[in-house]
Amino acid sequence: MNTNHSLVLAAFAAAFTLGGCTSAGSGSAALPALAPAAIAATQSVAPATFSTVDRHDSASRVVALPTLIVVANTPTVSFSEAGTFVLACAVQITSTDPDGDYMVVAYATPAGFPVENAPTPSALALAVPDLSSNSKTLANTGFPGNPVWQGVRKDTQTHCIDVTITVPTGQASGTYATTMQYALLEKINHSLYATRVTQSSSLTTTVAGAFVR
């Protein structure tokens, strides 16, 4: 787990929503997409080091830290035919921030099946079905990626992430490794967020011999 204070100028553009299985707490809401300009405007500052559990303020009081827990329920998949396949609750994420409002964002690496560099469409998409029926293609966009959900201060949320993989006809046989990156961004003001916690999960996709080009 990494914690730092990279600042993101979060200018929001056209809205999209993502959808998980269970939700604990209130305040969940669909988020708009980050405009390309917001990604270009990312600023980095020196990382601040915290305990992964708690820290002490100047008065030696224990201060709770934001939490981002990622559980990969489906770390490996195998396909022997072309088509679109939904991995229900492939990942489960729990998020909370005791200090302020926040949002959870995601992106994937590296480029190459099933993930592509934007704007080339990826074969990997995420949905959080208990928040929305919509899904969002997860491209190799780099930080800050795509908003997944948002929460208010002290709001703990747990959601399942459905992962959809589309295997095209003619996809070369092989094993493909994907890393899905997640970050909890704390809201500093109406347009500025600070990265507080990052996590990741791995997905290994095997395509069988029916896809020889």
How is the chain split into domains, by residue range?
7-199
The CA–CA distances, whole Å, from 54 to 64, 152, 153 equal 5, 20, 17
Q: For residue 3, how many C-alpha atoms fall within 13 Å in the half-sphere facing its CB?
A: 15
Q: What is the pLDDT of residue 61?
A: 53
Q: To the nearest whole percent, how much of the chain has pLDDT over 90?
A: 51
Mean pLDDT of the region 74-99: 95
Select the highest-mean-pLDDT range: 1-10, 139-148, 171-180: 171-180
Over residues 191-197, the mean pLDDT reads 90
pLDDT in tens, 25-69: 444 444 433 333 222 222 222 233 333 334 444 555 556 789 999
pTM of the model: 0.71
According to the model, what pLDDT value does residue 73 have?
A: 96
- Is the sign of the CA dihedral 145, 91, 117, 136 positive or negative? negative
**Between residues 144 and 184, which one has the greater pLDDT?**
184
Instruction: Evaluate the CA torsion angle 143, 98, 74, 147 in order and state its sign.
Output: negative
Q: What confidence score (pLDDT) does residue 56 get?
A: 46
Please say whether the dihedral angle defined by the alpha carbons of residues 166, 167, 169 and 172, taken in this order, is positive or negative.
Answer: positive
Kindly indicate the confidence band of residue 142, based on its pLDDT and cuts at 50, 70 and 90.
Answer: confident
Please check the confidence at residue 159 and state whether its pLDDT lies above 60: yes
pLDDT of residue 138: 86
Q: Is the pLDDT of residue 109 over 60?
A: yes
Phi then psi dihedrals of residue 191, to 5 deg: -135, 10
Phi then psi for residue 139, to 5 deg, are -100, 170
